Amino acid sequence: MTKSFNFSTEALGQLAQSDVARALAEDVGTGDLTAALIDPAAQARAQVLARESAVVCGSAWVEAAFKQLDPQARLVWHVRDGARCAADQVVFEVQGQARALLTAERTALNFLQFLSAVATKTAAYVALVAGTPAQIVDTRKTLPGLRMAQKYAVRCGGGTNHRVGLYDAILIKENHIAAAGGIAQVLQRAAPIAAQADFVEIEVETLAELAQALDAGARMVLLDNMDLAMLKEAVRINAGRAVLEISGGVTLAGLRALADTGVDRISIGTLTKDVQAIDYSMRFDAPQGGPQ
């Protein structure tokens, strides 16, 4: 976790308000023509059920979607972010203006199903490395404009966040090394600006490069696409001097073996870029109120 992240209730609310405003503008445009068929004075109640077991995530975005259209809407959550729901369990109930609930429904569910998918997938990876030193870490492979929402979802699933973007940490990769003239040279150039970054990490592809990085003072090393034998040897060579992270081609099937090598972190792009939406369903009661 880096110090750049702030997922306080207030920060989440602000983030969700911004994300939802863009989403509603995209969906509603000049007005919801179908919801206009409903009596504007009518009130309604609805329940949202999960159709499958999942780690719930996205309550701030759901709240923002309904309350941007009806500030008096009331939501009652039965399963909070980070907790697992069962299939067919009611996750939350909402009451408010019928038109507003109908218009906000798809936006609210889009965020809920997508962020819950990220959290649920992360939880599956986290469960497989239980009992090892390894942390499951996300990447910058996120949907444009929704990075912070997805990184919050990774947290809800028990994962750890990598850097937010290019501005808060230094991650030196193959092309940076080549452009700077070598591992020792690029780490030397990073030293004067290291205090501005949450961390400095360098990527290596061979055990020889790992040794060079450690000799040059590296304190965080990304081991890229190494096989199990190389990873075990890398852990031995490192001897606790630097934080070791694995990346590249990580799958659920091979995850436990990677974690058992003794590395500290396993970064996985698929947590945020290859997810299957969780199935949620909103069921409305009959509208109430309005002219008789």
Q: What are the residue numbers of the active site?
A: 106, 141, 173, 203, 224
Helix axes of 183-190 and 207-215: crossing angle, nearest 10 degrees: 40
Buried b (16+ CB within 10 A) or exposed e, 197-223: bbbbbbbbbebebbebbbebebebbbb
Strands of 135-137's sheet in order across: 135-137, 265-267, 243-247, 220-224, 200-204, 170-172
Closest CA to 275 of 80, 78, 110: 110
| Contact status, residue 150 vs residue 182, Cβ threshold 8 Å | no
CA dist 155 to 118, 146, 187, Å? 10, 15, 30
* E strand or H helix at 128: helix 98-128
Residue 278: burial class (beta carbons within 10 Å; 0-12, 13-18, 19+): buried
| Contact status, residue 222 vs residue 255, Cβ threshold 8 Å | no
CA distance 270 to 292: 53
Q: The tokens 């001097």 sit on which residue?
A: 241
